[in-house]
Amino acid sequence: MPIGAAFASFENVPIASASIAQVHGIRLHDGTDAIVKVLRPGIREVIDRDVALMHTLAGLVARVHPDGQRLRPREVVEEYDRTIHDELDLVREATNAVVIRNNFKDSELLHVPAIYWDYTRSTVMVQERISGIPIRDVAEMRRIGTDMKKLAEHGVEIFFTQVFHHNFFHADMHPGNIFVSRERPDHPQYIAIDFGIVGSLTEEDQRYIGENLLAFFQRDYHRVAQLHVDSGWVPRDTRVSELEAGIRAVCEPIFDKPLSQISFGNVLLQLFHVARRFEMEVQPQLVLLQKTLLNIEGLGRDLYPDLDLWTTGKPYLQRWVLQKSNPTTIARRLMAEMPAILKTLPEMPMLVHDFLALQNRVAREGLELLETDARNGRGGGTARAAGATNAAASAVGIGRLRWIVTGAALVVSAALLGAAHVIASPGDTPLAIWIAGGTGGLCLLRGLWP
């Protein structure tokens, strides 16, 4: 379609220009001012060639570099390959923008320009035209009386909200993509553009990251080290106390300091040394998050160098942990998993029966062997004695196992019934459910008690 037919007017001089696309101002036929983002012709072929070279170099590094296995260059390039090719699809970018816009609907913290879908294609995107102050123009923000401390704090809150509440975050937050609204200087609002690169975390990674950050804010370095081992980010045989000492040596000196007094370059360099010493592998799925963190740190340093990251971030993470542990949240998760649970539940009795039968048979055969040896006066050697001992121990453990299985069944049943009750009719949980759960807990204690 010719430009004149699609738009009422078109500005030939681009508003913004980058390696992949450029942006022009337009006016729609209904008089709405907007912008159109257009991919550069032939850019896909250029990127394909560049990424192919990166794959070749990554393979070379993986083979010849001493840290090739730990750094995982192939996986890092594969992650970049997916990210950059996603950025070439402007329909995907428009979808990302809509998701984040809906996540922050009616928010006073962040505004995301609307998408005009009738004009949007894989190589063309039309979006609401915004008017704001570029985030680098600190002088202009100060001139209109912007509360810089609040602006910096809002940036931290937006980041934590996207990562831990929405689990969908803008991963290209460089200064060219961030503006500040002029409307309320006393309660400043961000305006974000360019959603070609976004990130999300698996539930497991999100939990480990959140708990790591909270433990870090609480100076619980033992917990930080233990989480690294539990997550598999460092080898399982890592001595937690040594890793704890290494992390403490890097992090403790920067606590209680504002951004203006922290050299994150030096901190990162020291953390890299710790990572190398403990054979910590690079996590490619977290590269976008790490990149976003560095962007946030840079913005905070420019906007309000006296920002206390620890004081600002810690309360949000504490609320997030409490929310994740909230009974209603757990109940909703149980209800979401209910179809899978109900599918496997009918198989559980037979699985438990088969397991207990196997344990009974092993114990019975071992005891019979022990009695036969005793009647015949034979010792049977070390191996036979060990087998009999194991069988006897198994026999002793059968009773405890029955208690544990019974207790677990009661607790799970009570949890499922309680979750269903909370969702269906919020209020006091019936006494019978509490009794079933309590009985199950007592059975578990009976089985676990030595």
Catalytic positions are 172
d(CA 277, CA 275): 6
End-to-end CA distance of the chain: 79
Question: Structure tokens of 388?
Answer: 């009999």
Contacts of 8 (CB under 8 A, 6+ apart): 26, 27, 28, 29, 31
d(CA 322, CA 316): 10
CA gyration radius, the chain: 30
d(CA 433, CA 449): 24
Q: For residues 395 and 366, is the Cβ–Cβ distance under 8 A?
A: yes
Helix (H) or strand (E) holding 124: strand 124-128
Q: DSSP secondary-structure letter at 136?
A: T
d(CA 226, CA 208): 10
Q: For residues 440 and 408, is the Cβ–Cβ distance under 8 A?
A: yes
d(CA 392, CA 369): 10
Task: Compute how many other C-beta atoms are within 10 angstroms of the C-beta atom of residue 357.
Answer: 10
Question: Structure tokens of 16?
Answer: 């913004």
Helix (H) or strand (E) holding 19: none
d(CA 341, CA 420): 13
Which residues on neighbouring strands pair with residue 35, listed in sequence order?
A: 25, 127
d(CA 172, CA 283): 19
**Exposed, middle or buried, 364 (CB in 10 Å: 0-12/13-18/19+)?**
middle
- C-alpha to C-alpha distances, 390 to 236, 365, 380, nearest whole angstrom: 28, 11, 15
- C-alpha to C-alpha distances, 294 to 153, 159, 283, 291, 424, nearest whole angstrom: 16, 12, 16, 5, 44
Residue closest to 205 by CA, chosen among 309, 122, 286: 286
